[in-house]
Amino acid sequence: MSKVIRKLFRDNFLRRIFAPICITIILTIILKNATLKTTTTKPIVLDALLKQNSPLENELSDESIKYTTKSARIDLNATLETTVRCVGSVYNQSCLFENLYYVDSTFTMLIVKGKPLPEHSVRTDAFIFSNLTPNKREFDTYVDLQQFVRCVIQPKRFPYVTLHFGQPWHHNIGHALFDGLYPAYVAMIRFTPRHLYPFRILAGIDTCNDCWSEDVYSRFGGLGIIKHSVLNKLSSGRWYVFDEIVMGSGTMCQRCTRPDLQLAGGVELDASRLFRDRMYQQHGFLPLTCRYKSSLEHRKSNDILRAYVVDNKRFTLDDRKEINDAIEEINSYTYSYIHKMINNSNKLQWPLINVTYIHYQWIKANNDSSISTDTTAMDSRSPTYEINDNNFIAQLKLLRQMDIHITGPGTGQMYQTFLSDGSVSINIGGIRPWAAEGTPKAYTSFLEQHMTSGTPYIKGLYYPINERQKGIRKDEVVKLIRQAGKIILQGFSLPVNPRENLAPDGQLFVEMCGKDTKFCDSVTIRTANQLYVCIDLWIEDLVHEERQWKEGGYLDNGRNLSCPFNRTLLRGLRKKYGIKYRGGNSSKSI
């Protein structure tokens, strides 16, 4: 790398002779700019976002002013030197680099010798357990540095803020959003108020022909998306410079288990809400109804609540039938009220709920093909791109009107962040181990409980943990949906306590993490020398002592894989939280 620079420098040796000329030019520019300096540059602010009641609002003072005026960069003090500022613990820190250079697929800092730098290595990818540290190139004086930049490398500049992260599984919208975009946005929130403005995304993603998450990234940021692989190809011997680039989010992913079992930043930085609100705004929606203290705000007791059961690949044919029967029972009650068979609202036995069964892949944008629009060969992209809805927008439109969201685990859980304040998410559960339905081994699996506990504006309900292995039962579903309706209309208080948004096994984990810190570190600290199967934790597997959590572990290609923890403690906690052990033999009870 530095060899390349040296070569470049040598090749350009002749130009150094002309350096005095170059410097004169620079000085002229600087002086000219100095006289322009008094004209104030009006900040380009996304009004709607600033109008929101952000708890970060009072932090928008000095930083905000400095930030908004700097975009035009007609600044006497503008420097070409790389600077860096980092926030967070060393393990999960995010860094904001200014004037970060890029050449030959490598981030490069240009600094004046002796300049102290903070620890600035960052994790950029949720599933690559090593840190990124930009290369450094030092100059004796700032004048040397400036000359190198202006006269030698002449970089192409990426103005404004860029957000960088990698996400190899972006074909799956759940990973694309919550192992890639969301944690990166948390990093951006740490450098408030940048998270409220448009930014560019530099995405480490694979080449993919049908990954519509790329468009979600692009719209969410607002300034488009650069693919890292493309930049790498084009940066061979060519220099680029990022005005500002934020990175460092790989340990804040959705799959990054935390001791408190919360989606990183969801509660402590209000990031779930900020992410949700920006997602709606960037896709052309008005702000959601705000509920601050209670789910009852802006509701009446005889409102018809809208509940949606989201299809899940884990549902069996029987499960689907039971769910349908439950929907019928609830809806017929609601319709009978509407048709005046019950005519005294005070005497309502149950909340009025309209339940619909949906498949996300069937939710399509309205597409009025009768209107033809003019296109030309010069269009930078479809002229209706900014105007028409796409299918993701159609999904968001549905999500924002849900009062009750019902689905099994997996990708289906990943949209609950987009629910509005004071709604309920029912995790109807699934079965693990995979395909163990109907066997004595089957146990209840809720998987992504951390999504619910990290979303303090919704309340999570769970299918009874000791019942789910029998398959989904109509009566339980009816009970859960009615309970959801009841608590919404009684007014559950907001924000919801994160721990109360966990199922019994999730609560068990949080307690266990507090008491067995060695175990806790081994499942929450993602480092390259950690056994991956221990980090790849699903709480239900631990609780039922399956595979890597089984006594003696399991053999994988002749390798013995097991993760250490205090088994006595786990067994005691299982009793405390009333979870029936399903470790393969129903007769055996530990």
Residue placing its CB nearer to ligand NAG in the complex, 105 or 218: 218
d(CA 408, CA 426): 8
Least Å from the CB of residue 152 to ligand NAG:
26
What does the buried/exposed string (b/e) look like for 332-359 if buried means 16 or more CB atoms within 10 Å of the residue's CB? Answer: ebbeebeeeebeeeeeeebbbbbbeeee
Asked if 51 and 112 count as a contact pair (C-beta separation under 8 A), the reply is no
Residue placing its CB nearer to ligand NAG in the complex, 104 or 521: 521
Residue placing its CB nearer to ligand NAG in the complex, 58 or 77: 77
Question: Should residue 324 be labelled a site residue for ligand NAG when binding is judged by CB under 6 A?
Answer: no
Q: Find the binder of ligand NAG among 82, 92, 413, 420 (CB under 6 A).
A: 92
Lookup: tokens for 31: 């002086």
Q: How many residues bind ligand NAG (CB under 6 A)?
A: 37
15: left (phi over 0), alpha (psi -120 to 50) or beta: alpha
Stretch binding ligand NAG (CB under 6 A), from 135-143, 146-154, 289-297, 565-573? 565-573
H or E stretch covering 108: strand 106-112
Count of CA atoms in the C-beta half-sphere (13 A) of 6: 3
Amino acid at 195: H
Amino acid at 301: S
Question: Should residue 428 be labelled a site residue for ligand NAG when binding is judged by CB under 6 A?
Answer: no
Identify each DSSP E strand in 167-221 by its residue range: 199-204
Question: Should residue 390 be labelled a site residue for ligand NAG when binding is judged by CB under 6 A?
Answer: yes
Q: Which of 17, 36, 38 is nearest to 28 (CA)?
A: 36
Which 343-372 positions form the footprint of ligand NAG (CB under 6 A)?
Answer: 343-344, 354, 356, 365, 367, 369
Residue placing its CB nearer to ligand NAG in the complex, 301 or 316: 301
H or E stretch covering 332: helix 317-338
Stretch binding ligand NAG (CB under 6 A), from 103-111, 139-147, 415-423, 547-555? 547-555
Stretch binding ligand NAG (CB under 6 A), from 412-420, 449-457, 534-542, 563-571? 563-571
Question: Should residue 83 be labelled a site residue for ligand NAG when binding is judged by CB under 6 A?
Answer: no
d(CA 580, CA 589): 8
Q: Find the binder of ligand NAG among 186, 261, 424, 472 (CB under 6 A).
A: 186
Q: Find the binder of ligand NAG among 38, 39, 58, 89 (CB under 6 A).
A: 89
Handedness of CA 89, 242, 27, 149 (dihedral sign): positive
Stretch binding ligand NAG (CB under 6 A), from 224-232, 443-451, 500-508, 562-570? 562-570
Which 273-312 positions form the footprint of ligand NAG (CB under 6 A)?
Answer: 304
Q: Find the binder of ligand NAG among 205, 211, 252, 512 (CB under 6 A).
A: 252
First to last CA, the chain: 59
Q: Return phi, psi of residue 293, to 5°.
A: -115, -25
Question: Should residue 395 be labelled a site residue for ligand NAG when binding is judged by CB under 6 A?
Answer: no
Task: Please report, as ranges, the residues that interact with ligand NAG according to CB under 6 A.
Answer: 75-77, 88-89, 91-92, 186, 252, 264-265, 268-269, 304, 338, 340-341, 343-344, 354, 356, 365, 367, 369, 390, 552-555, 560, 562, 566, 568-569, 572, 584-585
